[in-house]
A and B are shown apart, each in its own frame.
Chain A
Amino acid sequence: MGQAMDLPFTVIGGYLGAGKTTLLNHLLTNTTGMRLAVLVNDFGSVNIDIDLIQSHDGETLSLANGCMCCSLVNGFAQAIGEIEKRAGAFDHLVIEASGVALPAKIAQYGQMYRLPLDGVLVMVDAEQVRTQAENKYVGDTVLRQLARADLLILNKTDLVPPETLAGLRAWLAERSPGTPLLETVRSEVPLDVLLGAGADRAKVGGRAEHAHQDRGHNHHDHASAHQTWTLEQAEPLARPDLERFAPGLGGDIYRAKGFVHLQDDPDRRYVYQQVGARWSLEPSEPWGEDQRRTRLVVIGRAGAVTADGLAALIGVSETK
């Protein structure tokens, strides 16, 4: 205790039936090479191909793809202890909040172990959420879950008619003002949207050997409804510009991440990180011999903004 671990974590919350378990199963069987540690409430619901399971030791399941799943049955402290034992073995920690937990509160638990918080994602059952919000036992909990989310994932959108969906969007915007809303079916959310995985991941994680020059481009994935923009600039940025940038992104941008070349501290990298409205700018390693350059990857709803619009927000000259 006392040593901070450099392992970013994401909390995934939402009421029963919102699709958390399906999402976690997707995460654990991901094939991107991203090594995830996933803390779940109930082992029983984790459904993983037996061939993928390398070992099963008490409340811990180790997978051949480098991921691990740990049950929270013996408490948060013990699960974190398991992760600490294998410090360095994971790229990202995902914590499942129980259906009636306040995910924002779970985020505090992670932070008390001095883990950097990536974001609080709350899954929403498109069919059931409005009924759940009126339940006399859990209604106020469901509303609190929505209100404190950094990013809402509206799941099962295929099960409701378009007019219901439109009404639901408006309803959610009222309950969680300004929170980006990502729509999906069968909990199929791309890893880069969910956890910021992707080309920039290794660099943001700070491992210089992977810090190659990525060909940032305006990537539009037609299969999903999201889009990636990369902003690059060699000229240092002023802090006030960044402070304007974050809230200016709006409800259609899910996350942004990358290094910043900062005017008032030009000798070292700053890590910029944003999920929904939550953002942070933390000092990191000195630039050293590397080229000093701001490079931010922004992910949002396809077509929500134009590259130039984003660039104008921050005053970046080279948008791709």
Chain B
Amino acid sequence: MTDKIDRREFIKTAVGAAAGALVVAHLPAGAAEPQAEAPQGAEKIFRGGPIVTMDDARREVQAVAIVGDKILAAGDEAEVMKHKTDATEIVDLGGKTLMPSFVDAHGHFMNAPQIVKWANVSGPPVGPVTKIADIVTVLQDHVKKQGIKKGDWIIGYGYDRSNLAEGRELLASELDPAFPDNPVMLIHSSNHGAVLNSVAFKAVGYDENTPTPPGGIINRMEGTNKPAGFLMETAFLPIFGSMPQPPEREMLDTLDAAQQLYASVGVTTCQEGATHAKDLAFLRKAAAEGLLYLDIVSLPLILNVPALLKEYAPSFQGGPMELPETTAQAFGHYKDRLKLQGLKFVMDGSPQGKTAFWSQPLLTKGPGGEENWRGQPLFPPEVVNKSMKEAYAKGIQIFSHCNGDASIDMMIDGARAAGIKADEDRRTVIIHSQFQRPDQLEAYVDLGFSPSYFTVHAFYWGEEHVTNTGLERASFISPMKSAAAKGLVCSNHSDFSVTPMDPMRMMWSAVVRTTRTGRVLGPDERIDRWESLKALTTNAAWQIREEDQKGKIAPGMLADLVILDANPLTVDTDRIPEIKAVETFKEGKSVYKRQPA
């Protein structure tokens, strides 16, 4: 898609096609091609480059025909060409690679409308900043591009001193000359701090008389008590919490740019993986207005269930953590491209923030300087067990955020207490599963748990994990090879916007597992390229019960496709992260086309 009008046109067609799909039974994956006698006419036939199917039965084909929203045929060119009519468009790949578009296995779509309005002041590979002067340039470009007016907030994300050649925190006084009339806030890559300019300090009421709150940091100018620029933790959180929120219309208007964050890297199914009640209201509105052209899978937060029930089941009289009998009806199907798939549990925090919950203490102190620190669960086991039992009883799929092995143990205990077995096909997804222990793999098999790993962690935070947990524990993070060997279906995710939406870097990280210093973290857990791509396509589709529609090129599957400028199966390993999407299709319609440089 190149402009907005096209996209709106497409939305109408797509909605019509989706409605039709409910009536016309689609062909299951891998089914025989239509009868040769009366071949159905194709709308488009792709040929002329590697076509990677992600189908174990036949990994590569010569050509693919599509019609409407589906794949009509895939195979040898001569066979597929039988579907050509006068109206068929032949797409010559010119040596580029066609494959199924990517399924976001876990991330936070609701961060996208925000991020597209913010400036990226990260260091490579996430952003362009290597010195203080770069920050000013990025912000100036951002102001121009976004048309930010005098007095409006300028917000940047990904700020981190460690990316700056100067090796020190940016000062308010270094932002003031270029931004004398706008408050500026550059959010730290941890999301726990920020640098403010002088206008921003004034706006939030911080000055030399502001005391540093317990558990917080306010850097001061040398020899004075004047805030220097950088704030952290309790000195920052209340400021962030009370930032003005953009009006809903403005947020809805960002949805095109937000979806382009995904479409431009070949992702056509996005996950909103921790949905609050207000987020769901927003997404439902976006869907009803026809603003979604990619699929959004929402996982409402279990904590928000009472609020959601109040809105969607006002007559429900049950107690806390109980679900109405009809809950399952709200899940598992798309309406205007929005689907609720399961309930999101959150069991612990993050390993880099040392708030994950491990069974063994870290080698370093806790986030508050605690000795013998192993993190904490976010909920007591009594509450977890009760909630899991209720979700299972009502037939709702569970997606649970667990980073440390102790939080995984709690999920295992909860499923055992509920009497769950693998053959029930519950597909309980343990999101992150990062610090899983080898012995927990067997429990995943027994209980039908499926891990969604986070292999880019090895790159972004691998060295910190070695420092905090030791080489042995750190080397087993996201153990995709061991899990696959047990027959577990594994996906891989970016946890957007914790790390960028960048499937090729995710694939690369699963293949090489190198840290920022080049160390290979857990060489035994490296997987081959085919498996690493499955984790981003068909396996991710399986976890949201869409494996018969998405993630493979085969007749009857949705025509969710991406053309890449190089073949990820054959390009030099080091070049995998550089592979770019050329064009992305959602159900046969182009939703992104790369502009020539």
Contact = CB atoms under 8 A, between A and B. Distances in A.
B242 to A, nearest CB: 5
Interface stretch (A135-143, A248-256, A298-306): A135-143
A2 to B, nearest CB: 2
Interface residues of B, number: 42
A3 B379 contact: no
A171 interface: no
Interface in A18-50: 42-45
Contact of B377 (A42, A81, A100): A100
A2 B210 contact: yes
Interface in B184-211: 204-206, 210-211
Interface in B218-248: 234-235, 237-242
Contacts of B276: 74
Nearest to A76: B241
A317 interface: no
Contacts of B303: 73
Interface string A128-150: 00000001111011001000000
Contacts of B242: 1, 77, 81
B241 A138 contact: no
B207 to A, nearest CB: 8
B238 A137 contact: no
Nearest to A105: B368
Interface string B339-382: 00000000000000000010100000000101010101111111
B523 interface: no
Given A42-B320, A76-B241, A77-B241, A3 B377 contact: no
Contacts, number: 91
Interface string A58-102: 010000000000000111111011000000000000000011101
B213 interface: yes
Interface stretch (A111-119, A157-165, A194-202, A216-224): A111-119
A74 B301 CA distance: 11
Given A2-B204, A44-B320, A111-B214, A100 B379 contact: yes
B241 A78 contact: yes
Interface in B145-193: none
A136 to B, nearest CB: 8
Interface in B394-433: 406, 409-410
A287 interface: no
Contacts of A1: 204-205, 238-239, 242
Contact of A44 (B319, B376, B379): B319
A112 B215 contact: yes
Given A2-B206, A45-B320, A111-B213, A77 B237 contact: yes
B440 interface: no
Contacts of B68: none
Contact of B380 (A16, A44, A105, A144): A16
A54 interface: no
Contact of B376 (A78, A80, A141): A141
Contacts of A3: 205
B380 A100 contact: yes
A308 B474 CA distance: 61
Interface in B235-265: 235, 237-242
B381 A138 contact: yes
A75 B241 contact: yes
Contacts of B239: 1
A55 interface: no
A141 B406 CA distance: 13
Contacts of A78: 241
A15 interface: yes
Contacts of B234: 108-109, 111-112
Given A2-B205, A108-B213, A112-B216, A73 B307 contact: yes
Nearest to B361: A140
Nearest to A41: B303
Contact of A137 (B235, B306, B368, B406): B406
B114 interface: no
A103 to B, nearest CB: 13
Nearest to B301: A73
Contacts of B376: 100, 102, 140-141
A141 B357 CA distance: 11
Interface string B306-326: 110000000000011000000
Interface in B262-307: 276, 278, 303-304, 306-307
Which of B240, B319, B380 has its CB near the most chain A CB atoms (within 10 A)? B380
A135 B381 contact: yes
Contacts of B378: 100
A193 B63 CA distance: 80
A90 to B, nearest CB: 19
Nearest to A113: B238
B316 to A, nearest CB: 12
Nearest to B303: A73
A112 B205 contact: no
A283 B476 CA distance: 56
A140 B374 contact: yes
Contact of B306 (A15, A73, A81, A109): A73
A55 to B, nearest CB: 16
A185 B382 CA distance: 23
Contacts of B278: 74
A105 B205 CA distance: 24
Which of A3, A42, A100, A105 has its CB near the most chain B CB atoms (within 10 A)? A100
A45 B306 CA distance: 12
A2 B382 CA distance: 40
A16 B320 CA distance: 15
A15 B210 CA distance: 35
Contacts of B406: 136-137
Contacts of B319: 44
A208 B251 CA distance: 49
Given A137-B409, A140-B372, 11 more contacts: A16-B380, A16-B383, A44-B320, A80-B241, A98-B379, A99-B380, A99-B383, A100-B378, A108-B213, A111-B214, A114-B211
15 contacts: A16-B380, A16-B382, A16-B383, A44-B319, A76-B241, A99-B380, A99-B383, A100-B377, A111-B234, A112-B213, A112-B235, A137-B377, A138-B377, A138-B381, A144-B370
Interface of B: 204-206, 210-211, 213-216, 234-235, 237-242, 276, 278, 303-304, 306-307, 319-320, 357, 359, 368, 370, 372, 374, 376-383, 406, 409-410
Q: Kindly list the 8 A-B residue pairs having the minimum CB-CB distance in the complex, ordered from nearest.
A: A2-B205, A77-B241, A112-B234, A44-B320, A108-B215, A112-B213, A1-B242, A111-B214
